[in-house]
Structure 1
């Protein structure tokens, strides 16, 4: 590759990374806005007024869980499409679905207006959100990592991962601004504004995504006509152990629902924090997450990934439980300090995990494998997290059980990640076992040859870097 081609490849990689970041920011804004509203208002707006507050909150969190239950469906549908027709097309579809569903939530009548149809409609729209985000995450990771220069896949996947704290921060800031409204106005119409804003954000995202190029790996697969007829079946038949380990790797990233969705409800309804005060605590923690999260991808790219993971996860065993007791003090700066410290370990882990999991599957089933792993964990752990926490609190009246549960998430993730790295390889500079299999297959077969080029023999394919996208 000459200097001009090298520069063009890096420009394309940067464009893919930035586009992934902007797109995932918009998708996660929509998803997290629902979580904040579920903690603050949905129990009052979409359920009978005579319910006990704890019960109404629990029902609100159950509607939140509906989105997580739907995410594996999105992972299967869009994983299939992404492995068959390409990553770009699926990302455009998921963005439209998410934007339409979110905007419609902002227009929903309340329980007082249409009765039981209000929570039913809310759950339906939440399911559409879940399907959309279920297909979004894997595609965004892959469009960035597969377009990256060789050996930089984990670092470029971190662009897509940055969309989560950015979207969460944006949603929290919008709700923070609206918290200045009188409580009756916020309940009547103020909470709807963040959802209606989604329509404008989606238009911006669409312009960017329509200009995006397909990833190099996927273009090569389509050109060689090696797409799989039913990717989901091949994943479950040949890579089911990797899928289960991948799902087991991810519980730690869902502790964000302990410290945002659940903690927001707990702090404002039982500990005496005002809505704006605790939202500001979350905002500060999200800024810390946005800053520190890429360090995880950098760390695993510079050292043995096993050591890097241990360094990232071990502090979580102590810091996440400590956060709950810091919040329980009722002292603002202690709560801020505790939440910021607890944010760093799982944020760094999240910054690295997308790129690591992308290395675990071969190109032809990578979208399906990555999506199913992530969404399986979301189904079992993500949406259940605030429900679990609220249930523990309702039954025990103590935060101790919630703190213990958060530490257990970190333990499961650490064990599964070490087992996964043992199978796929633990050096980011080397090809993973799946990537090496792709490279070996490519080297064995002549590439399709444009009319103005000489044929490429298998040996030449080896000499010319058979896996240039990584």
Structure 2
């Protein structure tokens, strides 16, 4: 496990106060924490994922100059998508510090507030035809704010659950945090699916704004839910014992550079590969003439099934270890990279949906269901939020942030999917190699109790 840390000399709580606190909460309280955390995560990620769907379907033509090739507008929209990811490490550092110093709950209320406000404002933005270059400029500013909020969201959402769960079931309970991530994507895709049932002119003029404007209600519900959560059990115990790093971000970089690199490597296939499956695939389907409704239906069905499979993968990681389960997902992406696009090329809805099921429910599900427990167990309590946020979000810039952009550029140049399949294999191999150098963290395997 993690090596010992140097903590703040100022301790305001006696040691016996920390000893009196439990390492985990009772079953009833844990269920309440899980429910509230999943709800909060789903609402926040609904906001963040709206951009990726809109970037694939409408932003290219509405917010960027039109050229002779429609893919160029989409390429510009995905550049904005990448900008949001570039802001995520800053958000991770900022809210990692807040979360490790002042509590997980405080950080999460702030992330939701920033995300909700930025998403709501996107729904009011004027288009390029109305205000010219101000349109993409304002869109990019709001996307930056989304990125900052998202950078601090994931680690805190995970820790609220995993730091209150029993060690022998942490993989299963930590996977519940990802239900919120997947649920947010399903919700955003479902709302876009419904508004696309409008006449095309109505959808392009005002219908696309509805999913973004709905975020104001989501913001209210989310803040209410999160403000009523108790602090995580492990953080509360560490706080009572005075175990706090003065500058947790610098502390984790100095003491745990290897663990941060491990977390980054684990993220590449999961994040980069998934955005090829979830975001770029919509562009590819449109490119070869497949209805957006067929593609979105595949996304919604496969992600809905993944909400179940990620829990099963997380539970399996409690039994056989984190690394074997994660390897199933990373290596699986290597195996299905070419078949994924072959199935889409058939233009047969059932086979297209099979491609999404393999990519999401099987490969991505194995990684995303295991990731919270595996990454969390690499770090100790006083720097865990910061360590997870940095590893998770720095990698997201180069993986999820760039993969749809690079994939779209490859499609625009080659007018074929095979270079994108090779990109998907390359991303996955980074994670496969990283796994070989990552230690098994499951407590019953490592034989150590998490600090």
Is the structural similarity TM-score above 0.5?
yes
Q: Per the alignment, do residues 312 and 263 of structure 1 end up closer, same or farther by CA in structure 2, a change over 3 Å counting?
A: closer
In 1, distance between residues paired with 2:23 and 2:324? Answer: 32
Q: Per the alignment, do residues 431 and 9 of structure 1 end up closer, same or farther by CA in structure 2, a change over 3 Å counting?
A: farther
Q: What's the offset of the Cα at 1:6? A: 11
Q: What's the offset of the Cα at 1:99? A: 0.4
In 2, distance between residues paired with 1:387 and 1:432? Answer: 43
Q: Per the alignment, do residues 304 and 404 of structure 1 end up closer, same or farther by CA in structure 2, a change over 3 Å counting?
A: same
Matched, 1:379 2:390: no
Q: Tell me which moved more, 291-300 or 83-92.
A: 291-300
String of CA shifts for 1:392-441, please: whole Å, max 9, x gaps: 111222110101111222221122123222xxx343435676x55x3xxx
Q: Report the equivalent of 2:343.
A: 326
Task: Name which of 220, 227, 244 aligns with 1:227.
Answer: 244
In 1, distance between residues paired with 2:349 and 2:420? Answer: 21
Q: Tell me which moved more, 303-312 or 383-392.
A: 303-312
String of CA shifts for 1:352-379, please: whole Å, max 9, x gaps: 1111100100111000000000001111
Task: Name which of 329, 334, 354 aligns with 1:317.
Answer: 334
Structure 1 consecutive aligned stretches of length 4 or more whose deviation exceeds 4 Å: 5-8, 430-433
Q: How does 1:177-216 map to 2 (within 5 A)?
A: 177-216=194-233
Q: Report the equivalent of 2:422.
A: 404
String of CA shifts for 1:226-270, please: whole Å, max 9, x gaps: 2111111111111011101110011121222111211101211x2
Q: What's the offset of the Cα at 1:306? A: 3.2
String of CA shifts for 1:76-98, please: whole Å, max 9, x gaps: 00000100000000001101111
The answer as to whether partners of 1:97 and 1:128 remain within 8 angstroms in 2 is yes
Structure 2: gaps (5+ residues): 1-21
Matched, 1:362 2:380: yes
Structure 1: gaps (5+ residues): 439-470
In 2, distance between residues paired with 1:260 and 1:342? Answer: 9
Q: What's the offset of the Cα at 1:325? A: 1.3
Q: Per the alignment, do residues 207 and 296 of structure 1 end up closer, same or farther by CA in structure 2, a change over 3 Å counting?
A: same
Q: Report the equivalent of 1:154.
A: 171
In 1, distance between residues paired with 2:322 and 2:153? Answer: 26
In 1, distance between residues paired with 2:25 and 2:245? Answer: 30
Q: Report the equivalent of 2:3.
A: none
Q: Report the equivalent of 1:391.
A: 409
Q: Report the equivalent of 2:276.
A: 258
In 1, distance between residues paired with 2:319 and 2:427? Answer: 26
Q: What's the offset of the Cα at 1:139? A: 0.4
Q: Report the equivalent of 2:9.
A: none
Matched, 1:96 2:108: no
Q: Report the equivalent of 1:287.
A: 304
Q: Report SS of the residue matched to 1:309.
A: helix
Q: Report SS of the residue matched to 2:438.
A: helix
Q: Per the alignment, do residues 431 and 143 of structure 1 end up closer, same or farther by CA in structure 2, a change over 3 Å counting?
A: farther
Q: Per the alignment, do residues 411 and 76 of structure 1 end up closer, same or farther by CA in structure 2, a change over 3 Å counting?
A: same
In 1, distance between residues paired with 2:38 and 2:427? Answer: 26
Q: Report the equivalent of 1:452.
A: none
Q: Report the equivalent of 1:298.
A: 315
Corresponding residue pairs, total: 428
Compute the RMSD of aligned alpha carbons: 1.7
In 1, distance between residues paired with 2:72 and 2:323? Answer: 43
Q: Report the equivalent of 1:449.
A: none
In 2, distance between residues paired with 1:271 and 1:420? Answer: 40
Q: Tell me which moved more, 239-248 or 200-209.
A: 200-209
The answer as to whether partners of 1:71 and 1:133 remain within 8 angstroms in 2 is yes
Q: Tell me which moved more, 284-293 or 246-255.
A: 284-293
Q: Report SS of the residue matched to 1:326.
A: helix
Q: How does 1:99-114 map to 2 (within 5 A)?
A: 99-114=116-131
